[in-house]
Amino acid sequence: MIVAVDGPAAAGKGTLARRLAEALGLAYLDTGALYRAVGLCVLRAGGDPADETAAVAAAKALDRGILDDPELRGDAAANAASKVAAIPAVRAELLVFQRRFAANPPPGKTGAILDGRDIGTVVCPEAQVKLFVTASAQARAGRRLKELQGRGIEAIHATVLQDMKERDARDQARAVAPLVPAEDAHILDTTDLDADAAFEQALAIVDPSTAPERSS
């Protein structure tokens, strides 16, 4: 079984995908971490994430060990990720890795769940279930601000919101694999949902047998 979870930044798809994977016995891959890792590698080398040569070289040399680096959760890596993700050659380098993971989950797992921007449209269009998790820009900026403050990072809501809107624009406007819902995706708007409510709704979509019975 393959489950694709897509959506914009801070919509809650990562937390949701991890919980679904644990509940359903699926292997989990945060594909966005791959792009953040490439972007972070370019930054650490003193390069520009938007430079194709530097970004492709970083993608080819990517070490899976960096996926555990806490700096991947920072805004610098996130912004760099949206720039390298707009480069077709970088996407091509990472596409094979993602598809191999989906097709060959680790032993003991009944399938795989991948979250990102183009899982249902490009990486795994054959996925049995596709979720597109979204929320208003205001709600997502508020969540990101709370996350940053929780890590002791000073931030201003207006700045976080502007960064969010600019990142959304880049993700939606890129020529290759833009951020759009797959035609057969289930749209889950988490603007007014907490993590538990979003999980319950998503679980009912992925595994209808878990949905509570409705009285007639």
Q: What is the pLDDT of residues 51-82, one digit of tens each?
A: 999 999 999 999 888 988 999 988 899 889 98
Give the model's pLDDT for residue 216.
37
The enclosing domain of 144 has a CATH number of 3.40.50.300
The answer to whether residue 149 scores a pLDDT higher than 50 is yes
Asked if 77 and 39 touch (Cβ cutoff 8 Å), the reply is: yes
The answer to whether residue 191 scores a pLDDT higher than 50 is yes
Pairing of strands 186-189, 129-134: parallel
The answer to whether residue 94 scores a pLDDT higher than 90 is yes
User: What's the CA gap between 170 and 168, in Å, rounded?
Assistant: 5
pLDDT in tens, 18-49: 999 999 999 999 998 999 999 999 999 999 99
Is residue 48 domain-resident? yes
Structural domain boundaries enclosing 21: 2-207
Burial of 75: CB neighbours in 10 Å, binned 0-12, 13-18, 19+: middle
Is residue 215 domain-resident? no
User: What's the CA gap between 174 and 170, in Å, rounded?
Assistant: 6
Is residue 203 domain-resident? yes
- pTM equals 0.82
Is residue 119 domain-resident? yes
**64 CA to centre of own chain:** 17
64 Cβ contact partners less than 8 Å away, ≥ 6 residues apart: none
Domain count, the chain: 1
Is residue 216 domain-resident? no
- Cα angle vertex 16, ends 13, 18, to 5°? 110
Looking at residue 89, its amino acid is: A
Is residue 214 domain-resident? no
